[in-house]
Structure 1
Amino acid sequence: MFQDLQRVLATYWQHFLFVLPKLFIALLLLIVAVFIANRVSTLLGGRLRQRSTDPLLADFLASISKWVMVLLGLLLALNILGFSGIVGSLVGAAGVSAFIVGFAFKDIAENFLAGVILAFNRPFHINDTVEIKGLIGHVEALNLRITLIRTFDGKHIYLPNSLVLKEPLINYTRDGNLRQEFLVSVELGENASPDVATTIILNYLRTVADVQQTPRAPYVNLEKATATTADLRVYFWADSEDYRRGVLQLKSRLMQEVKQELLGAGLGVPALAG
Protein backbone atom coordinates (compact mmCIF):
# COMPACT_ATOMS: atom_id res chain seq x y z
CA MET A 1 0.00 0.00 0.00
CA PHE A 2 2.87 2.36 0.82
CA GLN A 3 4.44 1.67 -2.58
CA ASP A 4 1.11 2.39 -4.34
CA LEU A 5 0.85 5.68 -2.49
CA GLN A 6 4.40 6.57 -3.53
CA ARG A 7 3.59 5.80 -7.17
CA VAL A 8 0.44 7.95 -7.05
CA LEU A 9 2.32 10.84 -5.45
CA ALA A 10 5.15 10.48 -7.97
CA THR A 11 2.64 10.52 -10.82
CA TYR A 12 1.00 13.67 -9.48
CA TRP A 13 4.40 15.28 -8.99
CA GLN A 14 5.35 14.54 -12.58
CA HIS A 15 2.06 15.99 -13.81
CA PHE A 16 2.65 19.07 -11.66
CA LEU A 17 6.16 19.50 -13.08
CA PHE A 18 4.71 19.10 -16.57
CA VAL A 19 1.99 21.71 -15.94
CA LEU A 20 4.21 24.09 -13.93
CA PRO A 21 5.62 25.98 -16.95
CA LYS A 22 2.12 26.38 -18.37
CA LEU A 23 0.85 27.53 -14.97
CA PHE A 24 3.66 30.09 -14.75
CA ILE A 25 2.96 31.37 -18.27
CA ALA A 26 -0.81 31.52 -17.62
CA LEU A 27 -0.27 33.41 -14.35
CA LEU A 28 2.16 35.78 -16.03
CA LEU A 29 -0.31 36.34 -18.89
CA LEU A 30 -3.10 37.09 -16.42
CA ILE A 31 -0.92 39.60 -14.55
CA VAL A 32 0.05 41.28 -17.82
CA ALA A 33 -3.61 41.34 -18.91
CA VAL A 34 -4.64 43.05 -15.66
CA PHE A 35 -1.78 45.56 -16.00
CA ILE A 36 -2.64 46.33 -19.63
CA ALA A 37 -6.35 46.57 -18.77
CA ASN A 38 -5.63 49.15 -16.05
CA ARG A 39 -3.36 51.16 -18.36
CA VAL A 40 -5.77 51.07 -21.30
CA SER A 41 -8.68 51.97 -19.02
CA THR A 42 -6.78 54.97 -17.65
CA LEU A 43 -5.68 56.17 -21.09
CA LEU A 44 -9.11 55.60 -22.64
CA GLY A 45 -10.83 57.38 -19.76
CA GLY A 46 -8.47 60.36 -20.14
CA ARG A 47 -9.02 60.58 -23.90
CA LEU A 48 -12.79 60.29 -23.54
CA ARG A 49 -12.89 62.98 -20.85
CA GLN A 50 -10.96 65.34 -23.11
CA ARG A 51 -13.23 64.78 -26.12
CA SER A 52 -16.54 64.34 -24.30
CA THR A 53 -18.52 66.85 -22.28
CA ASP A 54 -19.87 64.01 -20.15
CA PRO A 55 -17.24 62.55 -17.75
CA LEU A 56 -19.90 60.16 -16.42
CA LEU A 57 -20.06 58.28 -19.73
CA ALA A 58 -16.26 58.40 -20.12
CA ASP A 59 -15.68 56.74 -16.73
CA PHE A 60 -18.32 54.12 -17.40
CA LEU A 61 -16.88 53.12 -20.79
CA ALA A 62 -13.38 52.99 -19.29
CA SER A 63 -14.61 50.59 -16.58
CA ILE A 64 -16.29 48.34 -19.13
CA SER A 65 -13.15 48.20 -21.31
CA LYS A 66 -11.07 47.23 -18.27
CA TRP A 67 -13.23 44.28 -17.28
CA VAL A 68 -13.56 43.06 -20.88
CA MET A 69 -9.76 42.91 -21.21
CA VAL A 70 -9.40 41.12 -17.86
CA LEU A 71 -11.97 38.56 -18.97
CA LEU A 72 -10.11 37.97 -22.26
CA GLY A 73 -6.87 37.50 -20.32
CA LEU A 74 -8.57 34.94 -18.06
CA LEU A 75 -9.89 32.98 -21.06
CA LEU A 76 -6.40 32.92 -22.65
CA ALA A 77 -4.88 31.74 -19.36
CA LEU A 78 -7.40 28.88 -19.17
CA ASN A 79 -6.60 27.97 -22.77
CA ILE A 80 -2.85 27.80 -21.98
CA LEU A 81 -3.52 25.50 -19.02
CA GLY A 82 -5.27 23.07 -21.32
CA PHE A 83 -8.81 24.03 -20.45
CA SER A 84 -9.63 24.90 -24.03
CA GLY A 85 -12.53 22.49 -23.88
CA ILE A 86 -14.02 24.43 -20.98
CA VAL A 87 -13.48 27.71 -22.80
CA GLY A 88 -15.05 26.30 -25.94
CA SER A 89 -17.98 24.99 -23.96
CA LEU A 90 -18.49 28.38 -22.35
CA VAL A 91 -18.40 30.12 -25.72
CA GLY A 92 -20.44 27.43 -27.50
CA ALA A 93 -23.08 27.28 -24.80
CA ALA A 94 -23.29 31.03 -24.40
CA GLY A 95 -27.05 31.02 -24.40
CA VAL A 96 -27.36 28.46 -21.62
CA SER A 97 -24.51 30.02 -19.67
CA ALA A 98 -26.03 33.47 -19.97
CA PHE A 99 -29.33 32.12 -18.70
CA ILE A 100 -27.75 30.35 -15.72
CA VAL A 101 -25.45 33.22 -14.82
CA GLY A 102 -28.21 35.75 -15.34
CA PHE A 103 -30.52 33.80 -13.05
CA ALA A 104 -27.85 33.28 -10.38
CA PHE A 105 -26.69 36.90 -10.47
CA LYS A 106 -29.96 38.55 -11.40
CA ASP A 107 -29.44 41.67 -9.30
CA ILE A 108 -25.85 42.18 -10.49
CA ALA A 109 -26.82 41.71 -14.14
CA GLU A 110 -29.84 43.98 -13.74
CA ASN A 111 -27.77 46.76 -12.17
CA PHE A 112 -25.08 46.39 -14.85
CA LEU A 113 -27.58 46.65 -17.72
CA ALA A 114 -29.30 49.57 -15.97
CA GLY A 115 -25.89 51.25 -15.64
CA VAL A 116 -25.28 50.84 -19.39
CA ILE A 117 -28.67 52.41 -20.18
CA LEU A 118 -28.07 55.28 -17.74
CA ALA A 119 -24.59 55.92 -19.14
CA PHE A 120 -25.83 56.22 -22.72
CA ASN A 121 -29.25 57.74 -22.01
CA ARG A 122 -27.67 60.24 -19.59
CA PRO A 123 -30.61 61.57 -17.56
CA PHE A 124 -28.01 63.32 -15.40
CA HIS A 125 -24.39 64.49 -15.44
CA ILE A 126 -21.74 64.78 -12.77
CA ASN A 127 -22.72 67.40 -10.12
CA ASP A 128 -26.33 67.56 -11.31
CA THR A 129 -28.84 67.90 -8.47
CA VAL A 130 -31.38 65.08 -8.68
CA GLU A 131 -34.19 63.68 -6.58
CA ILE A 132 -34.93 59.94 -6.45
CA LYS A 133 -37.52 58.50 -4.03
CA GLY A 134 -37.37 61.65 -1.92
CA LEU A 135 -33.56 61.66 -1.78
CA ILE A 136 -31.97 64.89 -3.06
CA GLY A 137 -28.28 65.41 -3.75
CA HIS A 138 -25.47 65.87 -6.27
CA VAL A 139 -24.52 63.00 -8.60
CA GLU A 140 -20.90 62.09 -7.90
CA ALA A 141 -20.35 58.82 -9.79
CA LEU A 142 -21.91 56.07 -11.88
CA ASN A 143 -20.21 52.67 -12.01
CA LEU A 144 -21.15 49.15 -13.08
CA ARG A 145 -23.45 48.57 -10.10
CA ILE A 146 -24.41 51.77 -8.27
CA THR A 147 -25.06 55.49 -8.66
CA LEU A 148 -23.41 57.61 -5.97
CA ILE A 149 -25.29 60.68 -4.72
CA ARG A 150 -24.04 63.14 -2.09
CA THR A 151 -26.78 64.92 -0.15
CA PHE A 152 -26.59 68.58 0.87
CA ASP A 153 -25.65 67.59 4.43
CA GLY A 154 -22.66 65.54 3.23
CA LYS A 155 -24.13 62.02 3.30
CA HIS A 156 -23.20 59.60 0.51
CA ILE A 157 -26.06 57.46 -0.79
CA TYR A 158 -25.30 54.39 -2.93
CA LEU A 159 -28.32 53.65 -5.10
CA PRO A 160 -28.55 50.48 -7.24
CA ASN A 161 -28.64 51.40 -10.92
CA SER A 162 -31.81 49.39 -11.43
CA LEU A 163 -33.58 51.51 -8.81
CA VAL A 164 -32.40 54.74 -10.46
CA LEU A 165 -33.64 53.48 -13.83
CA LYS A 166 -37.06 52.34 -12.60
CA GLU A 167 -37.97 55.17 -10.24
CA PRO A 168 -39.08 58.65 -11.36
CA LEU A 169 -36.03 60.92 -11.41
CA ILE A 170 -36.22 64.70 -11.03
CA ASN A 171 -33.23 66.63 -12.40
CA TYR A 172 -33.19 70.14 -10.96
CA THR A 173 -30.18 71.43 -12.86
CA ARG A 174 -30.15 69.86 -16.33
CA ASP A 175 -32.06 72.68 -18.03
CA GLY A 176 -30.04 75.32 -16.20
CA ASN A 177 -33.19 77.23 -15.21
CA LEU A 178 -35.64 76.56 -12.43
CA ARG A 179 -38.83 78.32 -11.39
CA GLN A 180 -39.51 78.91 -7.73
CA GLU A 181 -42.46 80.42 -5.91
CA PHE A 182 -43.59 81.69 -2.53
CA LEU A 183 -46.78 83.08 -1.04
CA VAL A 184 -47.17 86.58 0.40
CA SER A 185 -50.18 87.62 2.46
CA VAL A 186 -50.86 91.36 2.38
CA GLU A 187 -53.24 93.29 4.61
CA LEU A 188 -55.69 95.36 2.59
CA GLY A 189 -56.49 98.97 3.42
CA GLU A 190 -57.31 102.33 1.92
CA ASN A 191 -53.95 102.62 0.14
CA ALA A 192 -53.15 98.90 0.05
CA SER A 193 -54.59 96.79 -2.74
CA PRO A 194 -53.39 93.62 -4.54
CA ASP A 195 -52.35 95.75 -7.53
CA VAL A 196 -50.25 98.06 -5.37
CA ALA A 197 -48.55 95.11 -3.66
CA THR A 198 -47.95 93.42 -7.00
CA THR A 199 -46.30 96.55 -8.42
CA ILE A 200 -44.01 96.86 -5.38
CA ILE A 201 -42.97 93.21 -5.57
CA LEU A 202 -42.28 93.25 -9.33
CA ASN A 203 -40.35 96.52 -9.15
CA TYR A 204 -38.12 95.01 -6.48
CA LEU A 205 -37.61 91.70 -8.34
CA ARG A 206 -36.48 93.60 -11.44
CA THR A 207 -33.57 95.00 -9.44
CA VAL A 208 -32.26 91.59 -8.27
CA ALA A 209 -29.44 90.41 -10.53
CA ASP A 210 -29.94 86.70 -9.74
CA VAL A 211 -33.60 86.78 -10.83
CA GLN A 212 -34.00 86.16 -14.57
CA GLN A 213 -35.79 88.91 -16.49
CA THR A 214 -35.86 87.69 -20.11
CA PRO A 215 -37.31 85.58 -21.51
CA ARG A 216 -38.61 84.30 -18.15
CA ALA A 217 -39.72 87.41 -16.32
CA PRO A 218 -41.06 87.20 -12.74
CA TYR A 219 -44.79 87.54 -12.23
CA VAL A 220 -47.35 87.63 -9.40
CA ASN A 221 -50.79 86.00 -9.27
CA LEU A 222 -53.63 86.82 -6.91
CA GLU A 223 -54.42 83.48 -5.33
CA LYS A 224 -56.96 84.38 -2.66
CA ALA A 225 -58.63 87.53 -1.37
CA THR A 226 -60.77 88.26 1.68
CA ALA A 227 -62.17 91.45 3.10
CA THR A 228 -58.95 92.15 4.99
CA THR A 229 -56.12 90.25 3.25
CA ALA A 230 -54.93 89.15 -0.18
CA ASP A 231 -52.69 86.14 -0.88
CA LEU A 232 -50.22 86.77 -3.69
CA ARG A 233 -48.22 83.95 -5.28
CA VAL A 234 -44.80 85.21 -6.46
CA TYR A 235 -43.05 83.33 -9.29
CA PHE A 236 -39.46 83.83 -10.43
CA TRP A 237 -36.82 81.98 -12.45
CA ALA A 238 -33.22 81.42 -11.34
CA ASP A 239 -30.04 79.76 -12.57
CA SER A 240 -30.13 76.20 -11.23
CA GLU A 241 -26.49 75.22 -11.78
CA ASP A 242 -26.04 75.24 -8.01
CA TYR A 243 -29.47 74.23 -6.75
CA ARG A 244 -28.73 74.70 -3.09
CA ARG A 245 -27.03 78.11 -3.21
CA GLY A 246 -28.34 79.44 -6.50
CA VAL A 247 -32.00 78.63 -5.93
CA LEU A 248 -32.88 77.75 -2.35
CA GLN A 249 -30.81 80.51 -0.73
CA LEU A 250 -32.01 83.02 -3.33
CA LYS A 251 -35.61 82.12 -2.55
CA SER A 252 -34.99 82.57 1.17
CA ARG A 253 -33.38 85.98 0.56
CA LEU A 254 -36.22 87.14 -1.72
CA MET A 255 -38.86 86.17 0.83
CA GLN A 256 -37.17 88.26 3.50
CA GLU A 257 -36.49 91.25 1.25
CA VAL A 258 -39.96 91.29 -0.34
CA LYS A 259 -41.43 91.45 3.14
CA GLN A 260 -39.16 94.39 3.99
CA GLU A 261 -40.13 96.17 0.74
CA LEU A 262 -43.84 95.81 1.51
CA LEU A 263 -43.40 96.90 5.12
CA GLY A 264 -41.34 99.86 3.97
CA ALA A 265 -44.19 100.90 1.67
CA GLY A 266 -46.62 100.87 4.59
CA LEU A 267 -48.32 97.54 3.77
CA GLY A 268 -48.94 94.97 6.46
CA VAL A 269 -47.51 91.51 5.84
CA PRO A 270 -48.96 88.98 8.30
CA ALA A 271 -47.34 85.91 6.71
CA LEU A 272 -45.08 84.47 4.03
CA ALA A 273 -44.95 80.83 2.95
CA GLY A 274 -42.79 78.84 0.58
Structure 2
Amino acid sequence: MDKLIEKFQFYYDAILQNAPSFLIGVVVLFIGFAIANFGKKLTENRIKSKLQNTLSRLFIAQIISGIIKIITVVIFLDLVGFQNITTKILAGAGILTFVIGFAFKDIGENFLAGILLAFKSPFKENDLIETEKVIGYVKELRIRETIIKTTDGKDVFVPNSQIINSPLINYTIDGFLRNEFLLGLDYSSDLSKAIQVIIESVSKTEGVLLGGKKPAVIIDEFAASTINLKVLFWLDTFKSSSKSYHLGIRTQVMKNVLLALTENEFSLPSNIVEVKQYEG
Protein backbone atom coordinates (compact mmCIF):
# COMPACT_ATOMS: atom_id res chain seq x y z
CA MET A 1 0.00 0.00 0.00
CA ASP A 2 2.86 2.37 0.89
CA LYS A 3 4.56 1.68 -2.45
CA LEU A 4 1.33 2.49 -4.28
CA ILE A 5 1.00 5.80 -2.42
CA GLU A 6 4.63 6.61 -3.22
CA LYS A 7 3.98 6.02 -6.93
CA PHE A 8 0.95 8.31 -6.90
CA GLN A 9 3.00 10.95 -5.03
CA PHE A 10 5.75 10.64 -7.63
CA TYR A 11 3.36 11.18 -10.52
CA TYR A 12 1.65 14.06 -8.71
CA ASP A 13 4.99 15.80 -8.08
CA ALA A 14 6.00 15.22 -11.69
CA ILE A 15 2.81 16.94 -12.91
CA LEU A 16 3.37 19.93 -10.60
CA GLN A 17 7.01 20.31 -11.64
CA ASN A 18 6.08 20.14 -15.29
CA ALA A 19 2.85 22.17 -15.20
CA PRO A 20 3.61 24.10 -18.43
CA SER A 21 4.60 20.89 -20.20
CA PHE A 22 1.47 19.25 -18.84
CA LEU A 23 -0.72 21.98 -20.32
CA ILE A 24 1.11 21.66 -23.64
CA GLY A 25 0.63 17.90 -23.44
CA VAL A 26 -3.12 18.31 -22.93
CA VAL A 27 -3.27 20.59 -25.97
CA VAL A 28 -1.26 18.04 -27.98
CA LEU A 29 -3.59 15.30 -26.77
CA PHE A 30 -6.63 17.30 -27.85
CA ILE A 31 -5.12 18.17 -31.23
CA GLY A 32 -3.89 14.60 -31.76
CA PHE A 33 -7.34 13.12 -31.18
CA ALA A 34 -8.88 15.79 -33.43
CA ILE A 35 -6.35 14.87 -36.15
CA ALA A 36 -7.20 11.19 -35.64
CA ASN A 37 -10.91 11.86 -36.16
CA PHE A 38 -10.20 14.10 -39.14
CA GLY A 39 -7.80 11.51 -40.56
CA LYS A 40 -10.50 8.88 -40.24
CA LYS A 41 -12.91 10.92 -42.38
CA LEU A 42 -10.15 11.90 -44.81
CA THR A 43 -9.12 8.28 -45.26
CA GLU A 44 -12.69 7.26 -45.98
CA ASN A 45 -13.00 9.96 -48.67
CA ARG A 46 -9.58 9.24 -50.23
CA ILE A 47 -10.13 5.50 -50.64
CA LYS A 48 -13.79 5.86 -51.57
CA SER A 49 -13.04 5.53 -55.28
CA LYS A 50 -10.76 2.51 -54.77
CA LEU A 51 -12.93 0.60 -52.30
CA GLN A 52 -16.63 0.53 -53.06
CA ASN A 53 -17.36 -1.52 -49.95
CA THR A 54 -18.37 0.88 -47.15
CA LEU A 55 -17.43 -1.64 -44.46
CA SER A 56 -13.85 -1.94 -45.76
CA ARG A 57 -13.42 1.84 -45.86
CA LEU A 58 -14.63 2.23 -42.29
CA PHE A 59 -12.40 -0.59 -41.05
CA ILE A 60 -9.22 0.84 -42.60
CA ALA A 61 -10.11 4.32 -41.33
CA GLN A 62 -10.55 2.93 -37.80
CA ILE A 63 -7.07 1.36 -37.89
CA ILE A 64 -5.41 4.61 -39.05
CA SER A 65 -7.31 6.62 -36.44
CA GLY A 66 -6.27 4.16 -33.71
CA ILE A 67 -2.57 4.39 -34.67
CA ILE A 68 -2.66 8.19 -34.55
CA LYS A 69 -4.30 8.12 -31.11
CA ILE A 70 -1.68 5.72 -29.74
CA ILE A 71 1.15 7.94 -31.02
CA THR A 72 -0.57 10.98 -29.49
CA VAL A 73 -0.81 9.31 -26.08
CA VAL A 74 2.89 8.35 -26.19
CA ILE A 75 3.86 11.95 -27.04
CA PHE A 76 1.62 13.23 -24.25
CA LEU A 77 3.28 10.98 -21.67
CA ASP A 78 6.70 12.14 -22.83
CA LEU A 79 5.75 15.83 -22.59
CA VAL A 80 4.32 15.63 -19.07
CA GLY A 81 7.50 14.06 -17.72
CA PHE A 82 6.64 10.40 -17.75
CA GLN A 83 9.60 9.52 -19.96
CA ASN A 84 10.16 6.34 -18.01
CA ILE A 85 6.64 5.17 -18.88
CA THR A 86 7.17 6.02 -22.54
CA THR A 87 10.50 4.24 -22.53
CA LYS A 88 8.96 1.19 -20.95
CA ILE A 89 6.16 1.21 -23.53
CA LEU A 90 8.61 1.40 -26.42
CA ALA A 91 11.18 -0.94 -24.93
CA GLY A 92 8.56 -3.45 -23.94
CA ALA A 93 6.84 -3.48 -27.31
CA GLY A 94 8.48 -6.77 -28.24
CA ILE A 95 7.61 -8.36 -24.90
CA LEU A 96 4.11 -6.95 -25.10
CA THR A 97 3.65 -8.46 -28.54
CA PHE A 98 4.82 -11.81 -27.21
CA VAL A 99 2.41 -11.64 -24.27
CA ILE A 100 -0.50 -10.57 -26.46
CA GLY A 101 0.20 -13.53 -28.70
CA PHE A 102 -0.68 -15.86 -25.83
CA ALA A 103 -2.91 -13.93 -23.43
CA PHE A 104 -4.90 -12.13 -26.13
CA LYS A 105 -4.76 -14.70 -28.91
CA ASP A 106 -8.44 -14.27 -29.76
CA ILE A 107 -8.13 -10.48 -30.02
CA GLY A 108 -5.19 -10.75 -32.40
CA GLU A 109 -6.92 -13.44 -34.41
CA ASN A 110 -10.09 -11.38 -34.74
CA PHE A 111 -8.05 -8.30 -35.72
CA LEU A 112 -6.27 -10.17 -38.51
CA ALA A 113 -9.56 -11.74 -39.59
CA GLY A 114 -11.06 -8.25 -39.76
CA ILE A 115 -8.25 -7.14 -42.08
CA LEU A 116 -8.92 -10.13 -44.34
CA LEU A 117 -12.64 -9.36 -44.40
CA ALA A 118 -11.95 -5.70 -45.17
CA PHE A 119 -9.84 -6.49 -48.24
CA LYS A 120 -11.57 -9.67 -49.39
CA SER A 121 -15.04 -8.07 -49.04
CA PRO A 122 -17.25 -11.17 -48.97
CA PHE A 123 -20.16 -8.93 -47.96
CA LYS A 124 -21.25 -5.30 -47.98
CA GLU A 125 -23.32 -3.17 -45.66
CA ASN A 126 -26.94 -4.41 -45.42
CA ASP A 127 -26.13 -7.72 -47.13
CA LEU A 128 -28.17 -10.64 -45.82
CA ILE A 129 -25.70 -13.29 -44.62
CA GLU A 130 -25.65 -16.47 -42.57
CA THR A 131 -22.76 -17.71 -40.43
CA GLU A 132 -22.91 -20.34 -37.71
CA LYS A 133 -26.75 -20.27 -37.72
CA VAL A 134 -26.78 -16.47 -37.30
CA ILE A 135 -28.87 -14.95 -40.11
CA GLY A 136 -29.17 -11.20 -40.52
CA TYR A 137 -28.10 -7.99 -42.20
CA VAL A 138 -24.52 -6.71 -41.90
CA LYS A 139 -24.44 -3.33 -40.16
CA GLU A 140 -20.79 -2.71 -39.28
CA LEU A 141 -17.34 -4.28 -39.53
CA ARG A 142 -15.22 -3.47 -36.48
CA ILE A 143 -11.65 -4.33 -35.54
CA ARG A 144 -12.75 -7.27 -33.40
CA GLU A 145 -16.27 -8.16 -34.52
CA THR A 146 -18.93 -7.79 -37.19
CA ILE A 147 -22.33 -6.46 -36.13
CA ILE A 148 -25.26 -8.34 -37.64
CA LYS A 149 -28.90 -7.36 -37.13
CA THR A 150 -30.95 -10.55 -37.24
CA THR A 151 -34.27 -10.78 -39.04
CA ASP A 152 -36.06 -10.58 -35.67
CA GLY A 153 -34.29 -7.33 -34.72
CA LYS A 154 -31.43 -8.56 -32.50
CA ASP A 155 -27.94 -7.05 -32.75
CA VAL A 156 -25.41 -9.90 -32.75
CA PHE A 157 -21.67 -9.23 -32.34
CA VAL A 158 -19.99 -12.04 -34.29
CA PRO A 159 -16.20 -12.42 -33.87
CA ASN A 160 -14.41 -11.84 -37.16
CA SER A 161 -12.43 -15.07 -36.78
CA GLN A 162 -15.68 -17.04 -36.63
CA ILE A 163 -16.75 -15.61 -39.99
CA ILE A 164 -13.36 -16.44 -41.54
CA ASN A 165 -13.22 -19.98 -40.14
CA SER A 166 -16.86 -20.94 -40.77
CA PRO A 167 -18.92 -21.32 -43.94
CA LEU A 168 -20.40 -17.96 -44.93
CA ILE A 169 -23.59 -17.67 -46.95
CA ASN A 170 -24.32 -14.33 -48.64
CA TYR A 171 -27.92 -14.28 -49.83
CA THR A 172 -27.69 -10.91 -51.56
CA ILE A 173 -24.27 -10.82 -53.23
CA ASP A 174 -25.76 -11.40 -56.70
CA GLY A 175 -29.15 -9.83 -56.08
CA PHE A 176 -31.13 -13.09 -56.01
CA LEU A 177 -32.85 -14.72 -53.04
CA ARG A 178 -34.84 -17.94 -53.31
CA ASN A 179 -37.91 -18.58 -51.19
CA GLU A 180 -39.82 -21.80 -50.80
CA PHE A 181 -42.72 -23.37 -48.93
CA LEU A 182 -44.49 -26.73 -48.71
CA LEU A 183 -48.14 -27.60 -49.31
CA GLY A 184 -49.95 -30.93 -49.23
CA LEU A 185 -52.50 -32.15 -51.78
CA ASP A 186 -54.86 -35.08 -51.64
CA TYR A 187 -53.62 -38.33 -53.23
CA SER A 188 -56.48 -38.22 -55.72
CA SER A 189 -55.39 -34.81 -57.05
CA ASP A 190 -54.34 -34.23 -60.66
CA LEU A 191 -50.71 -33.31 -59.98
CA SER A 192 -49.97 -32.01 -63.46
CA LYS A 193 -52.87 -29.59 -63.34
CA ALA A 194 -52.10 -28.60 -59.73
CA ILE A 195 -48.49 -27.77 -60.61
CA GLN A 196 -49.65 -25.71 -63.58
CA VAL A 197 -52.14 -23.77 -61.41
CA ILE A 198 -49.50 -23.09 -58.75
CA ILE A 199 -46.87 -21.88 -61.23
CA GLU A 200 -49.35 -19.56 -62.96
CA SER A 201 -50.46 -18.15 -59.60
CA VAL A 202 -46.90 -17.56 -58.35
CA SER A 203 -45.81 -16.00 -61.66
CA LYS A 204 -48.60 -13.42 -61.47
CA THR A 205 -47.52 -12.21 -58.01
CA GLU A 206 -45.76 -8.85 -58.07
CA GLY A 207 -42.11 -9.05 -57.04
CA VAL A 208 -41.53 -12.66 -58.17
CA LEU A 209 -38.83 -13.04 -60.83
CA LEU A 210 -39.51 -14.72 -64.16
CA GLY A 211 -37.28 -15.71 -67.09
CA GLY A 212 -34.18 -17.62 -66.02
CA LYS A 213 -35.33 -17.45 -62.38
CA LYS A 214 -38.93 -18.50 -63.02
CA PRO A 215 -40.96 -20.31 -60.31
CA ALA A 216 -40.85 -24.10 -60.05
CA VAL A 217 -42.79 -26.82 -58.25
CA ILE A 218 -41.37 -30.22 -57.30
CA ILE A 219 -42.79 -33.25 -55.51
CA ASP A 220 -41.10 -33.27 -52.12
CA GLU A 221 -42.44 -36.44 -50.47
CA PHE A 222 -45.33 -38.86 -50.15
CA ALA A 223 -46.62 -38.23 -46.64
CA ALA A 224 -49.15 -40.29 -44.68
CA SER A 225 -52.20 -38.42 -45.97
CA THR A 226 -50.87 -35.93 -48.53
CA ILE A 227 -48.55 -35.55 -51.47
CA ASN A 228 -46.26 -32.69 -50.43
CA LEU A 229 -45.18 -30.22 -53.09
CA LYS A 230 -42.35 -27.72 -52.69
CA VAL A 231 -42.95 -24.34 -54.32
CA LEU A 232 -39.78 -22.43 -55.30
CA PHE A 233 -39.55 -18.81 -56.46
CA TRP A 234 -36.92 -16.04 -56.66
CA LEU A 235 -36.84 -12.42 -55.47
CA ASP A 236 -34.65 -9.47 -56.48
CA THR A 237 -32.80 -8.35 -53.32
CA PHE A 238 -31.41 -5.25 -55.07
CA LYS A 239 -34.91 -3.75 -54.97
CA SER A 240 -34.97 -3.94 -51.19
CA SER A 241 -32.79 -5.46 -48.46
CA SER A 242 -35.66 -5.35 -45.97
CA LYS A 243 -36.73 -8.70 -44.57
CA SER A 244 -40.32 -7.42 -44.29
CA TYR A 245 -40.29 -6.76 -48.03
CA HIS A 246 -39.29 -10.36 -48.77
CA LEU A 247 -41.76 -11.80 -46.26
CA GLY A 248 -44.52 -9.62 -47.70
CA ILE A 249 -44.03 -11.09 -51.17
CA ARG A 250 -43.81 -14.62 -49.74
CA THR A 251 -47.08 -14.11 -47.87
CA GLN A 252 -48.81 -12.80 -50.99
CA VAL A 253 -47.53 -15.77 -53.02
CA MET A 254 -48.92 -18.25 -50.48
CA LYS A 255 -52.30 -16.45 -50.37
CA ASN A 256 -52.55 -16.44 -54.17
CA VAL A 257 -51.65 -20.15 -54.39
CA LEU A 258 -54.23 -21.09 -51.76
CA LEU A 259 -56.92 -19.06 -53.54
CA ALA A 260 -56.05 -20.54 -56.96
CA LEU A 261 -56.11 -24.14 -55.67
CA THR A 262 -59.40 -23.57 -53.87
CA GLU A 263 -60.99 -22.07 -56.99
CA ASN A 264 -59.89 -25.11 -58.98
CA GLU A 265 -61.39 -27.42 -56.36
CA PHE A 266 -58.17 -28.96 -55.10
CA SER A 267 -58.26 -30.46 -51.62
CA LEU A 268 -55.58 -29.61 -49.06
CA PRO A 269 -56.31 -32.20 -46.34
CA SER A 270 -54.85 -32.20 -42.87
CA ASN A 271 -53.02 -35.14 -41.34
CA ILE A 272 -55.23 -38.16 -40.77
CA VAL A 273 -54.98 -39.95 -37.44
CA GLU A 274 -56.30 -43.51 -37.35
CA VAL A 275 -57.63 -44.73 -34.01
CA LYS A 276 -58.23 -48.44 -33.50
CA GLN A 277 -60.08 -50.03 -30.62
CA TYR A 278 -59.42 -53.60 -29.62
CA GLU A 279 -61.71 -55.68 -27.50
CA GLY A 280 -60.04 -56.85 -24.37
TM-score when scaled to structure 1?
0.78
For 1:251 and 1:30, locate their aligned partners in 2 and report how far apart those are by CA, in whole Å.
55
Please name the residue that 2:75 is paired with. Answer: 76
Deviation string 1:180-210 (CA, Å, 9 cap, x unpaired) is: 2222222254xx4111111111222232232
> Per the alignment, do residues 122 and 51 of structure 1 end up closer, same or farther by CA in structure 2, a change over 3 Å counting?
closer
Tell me, what secondary structure is at the counterpart of 1:120? Answer: helix
Aligned residue type for 1:28: V
Q: 2:191 aligns with which of 189, 194, 199?
A: 194
For 2:15 and 2:79, locate their aligned partners in 1 and report how far apart those are by CA, in whole Å.
15
Deviation string 1:5-32 (CA, Å, 9 cap, x unpaired) is: xxxx9xx979964x44444444432332
Please name the residue that 1:4 is paired with. Answer: none
For 1:112 and 1:194, locate their aligned partners in 2 and report how far apart those are by CA, in whole Å.
55
Deviation at 1:67, TM superposition (A): 0.9
Deviation at 1:36, TM superposition (A): 1.0
CA RMSD of aligned residues (A): 3.3
Report how many aligned residue pairs link the two structures: 259
For 2:261 and 2:20, locate their aligned partners in 1 and report how far apart those are by CA, in whole Å.
88
Aligned residue type for 2:207: D
> Per the alignment, do residues 186 and 95 of structure 1 end up closer, same or farther by CA in structure 2, a change over 3 Å counting?
same
For 1:35 and 1:252, locate their aligned partners in 2 and report how far apart those are by CA, in whole Å.
51
Please name the residue that 2:125 is paired with. Answer: 126
For 2:269 and 2:22, locate their aligned partners in 1 and report how far apart those are by CA, in whole Å.
82
Deviation string 1:97-127 (CA, Å, 9 cap, x unpaired) is: 3112333433332322222222222222111
Q: Which runs of 5+ in 1 are unaligned?
A: 1-8
For 1:125 and 1:110, locate their aligned partners in 2 and report how far apart those are by CA, in whole Å.
21
Aligned residue type for 2:173: R
> Per the alignment, do residues 28 and 252 of structure 1 end up closer, same or farther by CA in structure 2, a change over 3 Å counting?
same
1:31 corresponds to 2:18: no
Tell me, what secondary structure is at the counterpart of 1:117? Answer: helix
Q: Within 5 Å, give how 1:239-250 maps onto structure 2.
A: 239-241=236-238, 242=241, 244-250=243-249
Deviation at 1:243, TM superposition (A): 5.6
- Could you tell me whether the CA contact under 8 Å between 2:225 and 2:269 is conserved in 1? no
Please name the residue that 2:109 is paired with. Answer: 110
Q: 1:220 aligns with which of 214, 217, 222?
A: 217
Q: Which runs of 5+ in 2 are unaligned?
A: 1-8, 272-280
For 1:227 and 1:129, locate their aligned partners in 2 and report how far apart those are by CA, in whole Å.
36
For 1:178 and 1:108, locate their aligned partners in 2 and report how far apart those are by CA, in whole Å.
34
For 1:113 and 1:193, locate their aligned partners in 2 and report how far apart those are by CA, in whole Å.
58
- Could you tell me whether the CA contact under 8 Å between 1:194 and 1:230 is conserved in 2? no
Which deviates the most, 141-150 or 82-91? Answer: 82-91
For 1:14 and 1:133, locate their aligned partners in 2 and report how far apart those are by CA, in whole Å.
53
Deviation string 1:40-80 (CA, Å, 9 cap, x unpaired) is: 11232244456643111111111111111112223334555
Deviation at 1:177, TM superposition (A): 0.6
Q: Within 5 Å, give how 1:59-70 maps onto structure 2.
A: 59-70=58-69
Give the fraction of aligned pairs with identical amino acids, expressed as a percent: 33
Tell me, what secondary structure is at the counterpart of 1:126? Answer: coil
Please name the residue that 2:144 is paired with. Answer: 145
Please name the residue that 1:203 is paired with. Answer: 200
- Could you tell me whether the CA contact under 8 Å between 1:172 and 1:243 is conserved in 2? no
For 1:164 and 1:215, locate their aligned partners in 2 and report how far apart those are by CA, in whole Å.
31
Q: Within 5 Å, give how 1:142-181 maps onto structure 2.
A: 142-181=141-180
For 1:15 and 1:211, locate their aligned partners in 2 and report how far apart those are by CA, in whole Å.
70
Please name the residue that 1:54 is paired with. Answer: 53
